[in-house]
Structure 1
Amino acid sequence: MNRENCTPITEFILLGFSDVPKLQYILFVVFFCLFKLSLFAHMFLITLYKSSPNLQTPMYFFLANFSFLEVCYILTIWPKMLRNLLSEHKTISFYGCAVQMYLFLLFAGSECYLLASMAYDRYIAICHPLLYNILMHKVICVQFICGSWIIGTLVAIIQTVLIFSLPFCSSREINHFYCDIPPIMALACADTQVQEVVTLIITLSVIVGSFMLTVISYSVIIWTILKKHSALGRKKAFSTCTSHLIVVTLFYGSGGVMYLRPKSSYGTDIDRFISLVYTIIAPLLNPFIYSLRNNDVKSAVRKIWYNIKLK
């Protein structure tokens, strides 16, 4: 269809969970509680890092920045989703949809390489402990953070411009609860082959690229642990890495399944379930995964609680 024959679309309709109208209020209560809990958990970890001298290390610097990214990520998607659960008019403006997609891709892309940076930090700590303070000093850590944000920004700009340069002429109903790439592309009344190829290339570069860096780091870590450490040392080292591996599996697993599948296999219910994993379940679980298995975090919490009781 020619662009000249298209009536410009000024807004979209986010169908979200409208196929289960009787559950809208129940879903709102559940998701609202999860939203508050997730925000509190991440903000608590950031505050804990800022106020605890024993957490002033590169590992927790990355973790605090990761929590900040997760907060931004949550605020990009959840408020609109919650509002639509209670609203009869589940609309989002054309430019509002573009902004939401841009922010989502910015934070998701940044998280990918931040997770890879965290894996590299564990690699240096376990495989080269004597060089740790030299190789992971504050300036290098900041460079890793900035690099992650730059990659996320480039990904977000390229993808958002490509997707929203398409003509949208007929349906404006997005069969999803936020503005994601596959459901938006499905509404275009033009050939999307270029956009699909670019999306695949970027997905391979960002998700698979950062995942491979993480896998390489942990492969070397595991080899080093098995070769050099005692049974007690192995247990401690594996305990340190397990939390990060769980987070990596949740994030990359769900993201990879969503964006590396062939177009013909996209299905509404499957897509929404997978999206729930990396937009709701993973951000909620991450702070608990890191804190409940971490002795340093537990120690910092006990110290703060003890100080509060003294006051």
Structure 2
Amino acid sequence: MIVVMEQNATEDQIQAVAAKVESFGLKSTIINGTERTVIAAIGEKRGSFKESIESFPGVSALTPISAPYKMASREVRTEPSTIQVGSFTAGGGHVGYVGGPCSVESEEQLISSARAVKAAGGTGLRGGAFKPRTSPYSFQGMKEEGLKLLAQAREETGLAVFTEVMATEDVDLVCRYADVLQVGARNMQNYRLLEAVGKSGKPVLLKRGASATMDEFLLAAEYILNEGNDQVMLCERGIRTFESHTRFTLPLASIPYLHRRTHLPVIIDPSHGTGHTYMVHDLAVAAVAAGADGLIIEMHPDPPNAQSDGYQSQTFEQFAETMTRCQKVQRALAE
């Protein structure tokens, strides 16, 4: 249920309604919009909830939330959310560009990558310190040493640091170093992890599972939002289909669909979504043209010798060219 307050509702009236909502055993979340404030009442309604609330001073109307995902729905927040952390901004007309290697491998590799991202106009640095790999014998990441290198790169370049957290017990450690916690596709429905990153208060980049429906994707985001963390970005990174010409199938239709259903920013990952370097450039540009709020792209100083995902990583020069074209499209759309 959404309690819509009148435009001239006072702070005391808003707080009184929120307290009344909670007296019914519901969770209240106050959402301040540009025109008016709404209060989301989440949970099983009991007793004479509607009659009790609609008579309160300052209340304009009560509206049921039809979507299964409550806090992520456009019914709760009609305006697009903007996520801003350090140098990075996404949503509300802003496009955030994140680049960097799949895995943190060495100081030289990471720092040179961060400098290249910064020089190309990027605002975020990605890099995996903990790497989930299909094979247990593959490179698993540098762990805390990798996190320290990411923090060092941020210190030099000012780029916001994006890195994946894989387990609930690692959340506090990763929070010490990262600006944005990434939940990978394999963990999209790891509900205890979603709750943990929600409680962290850090911005979260949530990747869609390879076989997840849109409702499942948005309900996963709901776990984070339900912990009081409204800094959630949805990342479309491709889904598994019958096609074999790409690593995954990257459905750019997700962008307008999600913008219609949710206020959360939509980030596109054309690297995992294609699995081939030569496709990344065009899909990145197309994503910006389709209205994406951000891109996260894998790049590496020496892709053929990368310890993970070199076959889908751009060189520094390719990344710079992609950034130039994406920014041209972004400017054209803004005119």
Shorter-normalised TM-score: what interval?
under 0.3
Higher helix share: 1
TM-score, normalising length: structure 2: 0.25
Higher strand share: 2
Bigger RCO of structures 1 and 2 (CA < 8 A, at least 6 apart): 1
